[in-house]
Amino acid sequence: PQLVDVFTADATYQERLQFVQELQRIAPQLAQFDWSSTTFALAPTENDLQIDWENDLMMLPCNFDGDNFVRYVKEIHSGAVEKEREKLAQFESSRRAKLEAQKAAAANLTDAMGDPSTDAVTDPDHDPMAGLDGRHAPPRPAADAWRSEYLMSSDKGGEELSVE
């Protein structure tokens, strides 16, 4: 803990000692939780129990039952863990629902506009394999103009290179 304050209350040495010994006894059971910012203080009266989680203040009476306190803290922790799991599950389910909605919208858009990948298979003008065998070359105006100019210039003759 950040602080164990046994001097805030008007208590006898025996009450302070009893309080500290009980905290010491339950310390191993509470060690799994983060108490770095928590102050444990001795409550002013024997029946006064004040736990302020927001301000990290535990005011316990000198005769508090350590086992009940440990049980209470574990219940609070398990409740918080369960709430966190529920939040995470809700987040994951909403994320999945959004993803499925996006996929459905994309599928609807694809169906409405036509999927280019399926059109290419059924449409011979857009067949990517056409022209690879040399018989069904698709028309390409810019490439054809360049090719015809190249072929005309190569007819003029040139120096043959020998391959050694």
Q: Which residues contact 33 (CB under 8 A, 6 or more apart)?
A: 73, 77
What pTM was estimated for this model as a whole?
0.50
The mean per-residue pLDDT over the stretch 112-141 comes to 57
The mean per-residue pLDDT over the stretch 105-123 comes to 64
Residue 102 pLDDT greater than 50, yes or no: yes
The mean per-residue pLDDT over the stretch 20-47 comes to 86
The mean per-residue pLDDT over the stretch 5-26 comes to 85
Residue 110 pLDDT greater than 90, yes or no: no
Residue 107 pLDDT greater than 90, yes or no: no
What are the DSSP calls for the chain, one per residue?
--EEE-SSS---HHHHHHHHHHHHHHHHHHTTS--TT-EEEE-SSTT--EEETTTTEEEE-TT--HHHHHHHHHHHHHHHHHHHHHHHHHHHHHHHHHHHHHHHHHHHHHHHH--HHHHHHH-GGG-TTTTSSSSSPPP-HHHHHHHHHHHHHHTT--PPPP--
Measured CA to CA, the distance from residue 96 to residue 10 in angstroms comes to 58
* Per-residue model confidence as pLDDT tens digits over 41-100: 888 777 778 888 888 888 888 888 889 989 988 998 888 888 888 888 888 888 888 988
Across all residues in the chain, what is the average pLDDT? 77
The number of CA neighbours under 13 Å toward the Cβ of 162 is: 1
Percent of the chain with pLDDT over 70: 68
The mean per-residue pLDDT over the stretch 16-45 comes to 87
Please report the pLDDT score of residue 153 as a whole number: 60
Q: In terms of pLDDT, which residue wins out, 24 or 146?
A: 24
Measured CA to CA, the distance from residue 58 to residue 37 in angstroms comes to 11
